[in-house]
Structure 1
Amino acid sequence: QGFTYPPHVGLSIGTPADPQFVLMEVHYDNPSYTEGLIDNSGLRLIYTPVIRKYDAGVIEAGLWVSLFHNIPPGMPEFVSEGHCTLECLEEALGAERPAGIHVFAVLLHAHLAGRAIRMRHFHNGEEQKLLAYDDEFDFNFQEFQYLKEERTILPGDNLITECHYSTVDRIRMTWGGLSTRNEMCLSYLLYYPRINLTRCASIPDIMEQLQFIGVKEIYRPVRTWPFIIKSPKQYKNLSFMDAMNKFKWSRSEGLSYNELVLKLPVNVRCSKTDNAEWSIQGMTALPPEIERPYKTEPIICSSSSCLCCSLFLTLLFVVHVTASTMGNIGPFL
C-alpha cells in the first residue's frame, strides 16, 4: 500500500526550497543466494497543479549519526536517546511558527541491533502520549506510521527518540554510522506547515564517555580522526575506538555505562533546509528533567464489555484447566 498525504497537505515541488531530485535506495536481503529473483520496487509520484492548503516538511530528530554514539558488546538491552531539544524548537518554531507545527506521520529508524524505538513528546515538563512507537522493531520492515490524531509540537517542547538495542551476539563495540552493522537512532517527522528546520538532534559528550573506561588525556590539538589518547599508559597512542574495544566489558559495566550516557550533557544540532544552522547549533544542553512521566490511562469497561471480559476469562480458565488435566493423562498402552 502506497503512502498518501492527508487531503489538506502536499509535498511542494518546483520552488528553490524544494527537493531538486529524488533518490530511491533499496536494501536487498537474500541470505540463501536464491537466483532469478525479480524486483518491481519503485516510486509512483502523483503530481497535481491543484495546490493543497499546506506544504509538508520533514524533520530528522534523534541522535546525530557519529562515533560518539556507541554500544558495548554482549548487552541484552542497551538504551540510547537522541534529543530534539527545547532550545532548538524554541528558536526555530519561535521564529517561523509560534503556533506550532502539526505532525501526521513518523518513521522510526535504527539498524540490525535495534529491538524497539519510541518517540517521546514533552510539553512544559510533562510527558505526553507517545508520538510513535515500535516495540517489536525489525530492520527489514520499516515504514511511516500514520498518527491516529495529528499532534501539535510547540516552541519549547522536547522530543526524545528512545532506542533499545541488543548486542548479545557481538564481541566488539557497535558504533554509530551508515553501515547496517553500525547503528542509528532516528525519527523522521512528517508535518505541516513547513518551516526552515530539517534536523533537530544531539550528540552525547565523548570525553565523559572515555573517562568511564579510565582515559585521562588525549593529544591536543586534535589532528586525526578518530582522535588519539595520550594517557593512561594502557591506552597510549590508541584511537578512542581502539580503547573502547580494548576495555573489558561485562554486563554490569555495560549497565553502569548506559546509566552514565543517558545523563550526559548533549551537543545541540539544529539545522536549516539549506544546511545553514540556527544560532543554537553547537551549544551544550542537559537532558530534560522529566517532572511528570506519562501515565497510561486505565481501561474502563462498560457493563457490556465487562460481561465480555468475564466470559473471556471464564473461557480462558476452562481451557487452562482442560489442558492441565489432559497433560496429566498418561498414554494408553
Structure 2
Amino acid sequence: MRRSKAIVAALLIVVLMAGCVQEESKPEEKPKAVTTPTTYSLTTAGGTPGGVGFAIMTATMAVASKYYPEITYSVVPGGWVGNVIRVNTHELDLAHTTVASASLSKKQMGPFEGNPVPENVRGVFVDQVDNYYYIVARADFPYDTVDEIAAAKYPLRVTNQPKGTFAGWLWDEILNMTGMNESTIRALGGSYTRVSWSDAVALLRDGHVDAILAVSGKKVGWLEELTALRDVKYVSVSEELANKIMEKYGLQKVVIPAGTLPKQKNDIMGFSDTGYIIANKNVPDEVVYKIVKAIIEHPNEFRESHAMLETFQLGSRMFETSPFPLHPGAVKAYKEFGYMS
C-alpha cells in the first residue's frame, strides 16, 4: 500500500514538472503590429487669396485632410493659367483652374501659346461652381455696357487681375475686341491697374477707380466686403461681343439675373465658366482616391464650406466635362461609388 502511494506521488510530481516545462517553453506572444498610413504632404494652389479658386482649393483639401489626416497640405496663391503650367511641371501636386482654361491649354491657345501641351496633368473633379465674368462699377457710373464705354472713348479708370491669371488675360481680350486696351485707356487719360481683389476693393471704395474687371461666384468675400460699404452698378457686355467670346474661347454666354450678385438691381449679360481640380499624373493614386472619396462621402460638408459650392452635385457631373484624362485615383473612386462603369 505504501509502495502504491509512493508510485502515485512520483507520477504526480512528474506530471506537474512536465506542465511547468511546457509553460516555460511556450513562446512569448508578440504584440500585433499597427499599420500607420503613409503621410503625404501636398503643395496645392488656388487663385488670388480672397477669390474663387483659392477658396475652393482650400475647401477641397480641408475636407480630405479631416477624414484622411495622413494627407497634409499647403495652399499657395496662383492663377488659372499658371496653375496648369505648374501642375504640368510638378511644381504643384494639385491646383484649381477652370474648364475653359484647361481646354485652351490643350490647344495651346491664348495665354498658353508657346507653352508645351500639358501632358502630365490629370483631372480630379469639376466643382460645378458658376464663375461669372462681369464689371462692377461705382453706383453713378454713366454707362451700361462695355461697348458704350468704348464708343464714348471714356477715360476709364479700371482694375484688372495680374498678368498670368486667366481672368486678367480674358479681360484684356474682351477689351481688345471693343478697341480698348491698356495703352489706349491710358492715352485717353484713364488708368489700368493690375492688383489683387482686396486692393481693387480699396481703390473702388476710395474713389480712385471707376470699375473692377471681375470674375467670381455668386458669393465671394471681396465683393461682399465692397457691397457692404457702398452701392455699386454692374456693367454688361453686348450680346454680339458675348457671342464672339463664346465662339473663340469656349466660355458660356449667360444672362446673370438681377439679385444673383450682391446689390445687383438689373439683369446683365456676361460669361460663365466652371471650376476644376487638377493633379499631376505622378501624385500617388491612393492620395487622389482618398481626396475624391472624402468629397463623395461628405458632400454636405464640402458644400457648407463655402456658399459658392451650394450647387455642387455628386455623380457624373464631377467628371463628364473634364478636358484632361482623369487621374487613375479619381477613376477608382468614381467606379467604387457607381458613377462610372
Identify the structure with the greater strand proportion.
Answer: 1
Range of TM-score over shorter length? under 0.3
Identify the structure with the greater helix proportion.
Answer: 2
TM-score normalised by the chain length of structure 2: 0.22
- Structure number with the bigger relative contact order (C-alpha 8 A, sep ≥ 6) is 2
Which has the greater radius of gyration?
2
TM-score normalised by the chain length of structure 1: 0.23
